[in-house]
Amino acid sequence: DYKVNEAVQTMEGDIVLKNPPPPQKPQLPIIDQVFLLEEPQRPGEYMPAYEDEHGTYIMNSKDLRAVQHVKTFTDMGISSLKIEGRTKSFFYAARTAQVYRKAIDDAAAGVEFNESLLEMLDSLSNRGYTEGFFQRHASESMQNYEHGRSVANKQQFVGDIIDRDEDGIIVDVKNKFGLNDELELMTPTGNTVFNLNALLNQKSDSIDVAPGSGHVVKIPYAENQLGDRADQLTAHDYQYALLMKSVKTPAEPSLA
């Protein structure tokens, strides 16, 4: 049986408890031994390490990323890849699946790895990336010493496409965006980047800003140069389309 807890989505796209419990005094897990590790290159900086019958654990590791090695995996005969998405938003799952799908298709077609796929993953809320134990690394390259939370500093999930008509797309707003923002429409068949030149409310009045969650707005095709792209999109594309905003300054760390 599962205990259901109400959750909300942060501005960075992470899923967190709506009513988190009050902070409690940290308690160490039931373990055999506890250590504080100090690296020669970082005197005075300590990392907690726990040891039990299963092994030794160092806290605050970076997120795993191996998209650049998909070609190697396929050459090895690996036929299935798993993306870890627990506690993540559907935006995180959609973007990550899209990136790895592209990498797999390119590898199968003999196409050289596209470096822009790394940038797409960088736009997601993350703790910094590491290849883990796929290759030998200095231990410091696998740990995040700068912050203990996920940080997204390139893109923000701002809306879910819920409908369309002959004039534009209807957006269920998740985070604030407005005129002159650079937006990206992400769909199963590809992404479109455009500058927002026009925005309408539900009464078809022109507005400057989509204030945030709880609002529904319309993005006209014509004024935003989306007409050609709109003609190419299928009902399936619109069903799963998401809207992102480019972030010009680093976003605040999320609570993930």
Domain ends where: 5, 38, 59? 59
Burial class of residue 181, CB neighbours in 10 A (0-12, 13-18, 19+):
buried
Residue at 163 is within a domain? yes
One domain, residues 38 and 72: no
Strand partners, 187: 190
One domain, residues 50 and 108: no
Domain containing 186 — which CATH number?
2.40.30.10
Strand partners, 164: 169
pLDDT at residue 133, rounded to an integer:
67
Residue at 46 is within a domain? yes
Burial class of residue 121, CB neighbours in 10 A (0-12, 13-18, 19+):
middle
One domain, residues 188 and 119: no
One domain, residues 229 and 170: yes
Residue at 8 is within a domain? no
Residue at 6 is within a domain? no
One domain, residues 91 and 163: no
pLDDT at residue 125, rounded to an integer:
73
- Chain centroid to Cα 96, Å, comes to 7
One domain, residues 198 and 126: no
Residue at 137 is within a domain? yes
One domain, residues 128 and 176: no
pLDDT at residue 253, rounded to an integer:
44
pLDDT at residue 140, rounded to an integer:
46
One domain, residues 195 and 220: yes
The number of residues making up the chain comes to 256
One domain, residues 163 and 200: yes
60: left (phi over 0), alpha (psi -120 to 50) or beta: left
Look up residue 143 and give its DSSP letter: B
> Would you write out the chain's pLDDT as a tens digit for each of its 256 residues?
678 888 887 766 677 888 888 766 555 444 556 677 777 776 776 666 666 565 655 555 677 788 999 999 888 888 888 887 766 777 888 889 999 999 999 999 999 999 999 988 888 877 677 777 676 554 444 444 344 444 455 788 999 999 999 999 999 999 999 999 999 999 988 899 999 999 999 999 999 999 989 999 999 999 988 878 888 888 899 899 999 999 875 444 443 3
Q: How many domains does the chain have?
A: 3
One domain, residues 242 and 200: yes
pLDDT at residue 89, rounded to an integer:
79
Q: Residue 110 belongs to what domain range?
A: 63-142
One domain, residues 174 and 131: no
Domain ends where: 110, 142, 174? 142
One domain, residues 113 and 184: no
Residue at 150 is within a domain? no
Residue at 17 is within a domain? no
pLDDT at residue 55, rounded to an integer:
62
The tokens 């605040």 sit on which residue? 252
Query: What dihedral do alpha carbons 248, 250, 254, 256 form, nearest 10°?
Result: 100
Residue at 119 is within a domain? yes
Q: What are the helix (H) ranges across 60-168? A: 70-75, 90-109, 116-122
